Chain A
Amino acid sequence: MDKYIDVAALSKVLVISLVLGAGIPAIFALGVRSLAPSEGGSRTLHVTGAVICFGICVAAVVAGVLRLALGGK
């Protein structure tokens, strides 16, 4: 069976995909929530939080594309 399935590589793919694939939308959602007008607290704090969250998402995407362009198959 090992000839057909590389369990180690496969589980790596699954775990990394899970962390990034579910994590990035979650961080994005956090950003959206801090932007939402209904919550209390300082406005600047909220906007900063949102910018950080969106920044993480953008950075992850850029890193992914660069990785692709620079040859990681």
Chain B
Amino acid sequence: MIVVVTALAFDFTNGFHDTANAMATSIATKALRPKVAVLLSAVLNVVGAFLSLAVAATIAKGIVEQDAVTMSVVFAGLCGGIIWNLVTWYFGLPSSSSHAIIGGLIGSVLVAAGTSGVIWSGVISKVIIPALIAPFAAGVIAMVGTWLVYRITRSVGAKETSQEFRWGQIGSASLVSLAHGTNDAQKTMGIILLALIAGGELPADAGVPVWVIIGCALAIGLGTYIGGWRVIRTLGKGLVDIQPPQGLAAETSSAAVILISSHFGYPLSTTHVASGSILGSGVGRRTPVRWSVARRMAVAWLITLPAAAAVGAAAEGIQHLIDGALGTIIVLALLVAASGALVIRSRRESVDHNNVNDEWAEPERAAQPVPTA
């Protein structure tokens, strides 16, 4: 029961964190008003979660040995994922929710079952390699797309074309939202399924129960609607200044890379793809790119897996030291306390739909390296 609620909470932070992937550029170019954008994205995430069930158990099956998975392992892994999502959200960093949950799972399995519990070849081929390639591929595609778009419309004034490109952006951003729903909601479904099987609630060959699908769809939709404004701001305003044609090219590139690679069985981070696309579109238009922001993001990507793994390992360690329900309750209390503290601190410099598009001023303080959890 606690595991299922925690998994839904993770799904919520996932939607919350990843609204930016689809909607940051549309909000930045004012193609959509911020509130409308998150609502549209939320609805499409829910639809996407229902569309396809194929991805559901990929993560659970390819990354860790199923025998090593128990309720407490899943719970500890989820704690790692949630904490890392909230920390990166606090710093406005678009980091991969998928890596956070995978990292959390790896960490807790390492503590519970040792190194043999992790399928390392699966980790490398399904997580590390795609993570290295995807942002660059998306960046190059967005660069070519942006260059083509500007080349083709060169003879026409920007004023006449902006409106059409904004309409196109709504379409391409919707596609990214839909793709996100089909990918990321699935990951949580797979994890809940795994927990239910580990807990003996369901037979090992069971499919995803309908209530799990509905729960995950709603959790990710709600998270998306609440909106991780901090991350949206970084992606939409922090990296490059985005014009409508550029936004269209970046989003189409993201959607193409996500949909096609998951079709070929490469699970990858929508966050990495979207960030790479936006960067690439900036290069393609020959506008200045704030490489310092990009560098900070890249650092966050590199430490996402180990950091979430550390939190997951700690959570599993506590449950090992203190057996039974008490250990789980202590971890839960720590999780709630840490999340609450981050949310309260974020109030101090809140970013919401009112100031998400304000001019980007590079703060001195934020130039420091990203602290770990």
Contacts and interface: CB of A to CB of B under 8 A. Distances in A.
A58 to B, nearest CB: 8
Contacts of A24: 145, 252, 256
Interface residues of A, number: 40
B165 interface: yes
B178 interface: yes
Contact of A38 (B55, B157, B179, B252): B157
A22 B51 CA distance: 26
B210 interface: no
Nearest to B145: A22
Interface string B160-177: 110011001001100100
Residue among A3, A9, A13 with most chain B CB within 10 A: A13
B133 interface: yes
B263 interface: yes
Main secondary structure of the interface of B (DSSP, over half): helix
A41 B35 CA distance: 41
B155 A73 contact: no
Given A18-B144, A22-B249, A64-B259, A32 B161 contact: yes
Contact of A17 (B121, B141, B171): B141
Contacts of B264: 9, 12-13
Contacts of B157: 36, 38
A36 B161 contact: yes
Of all A-B residue pairs in the complex, the 5 with the closest CB atoms, nearest first, are A21-B256, A22-B145, A21-B253, A26-B148, A29-B152
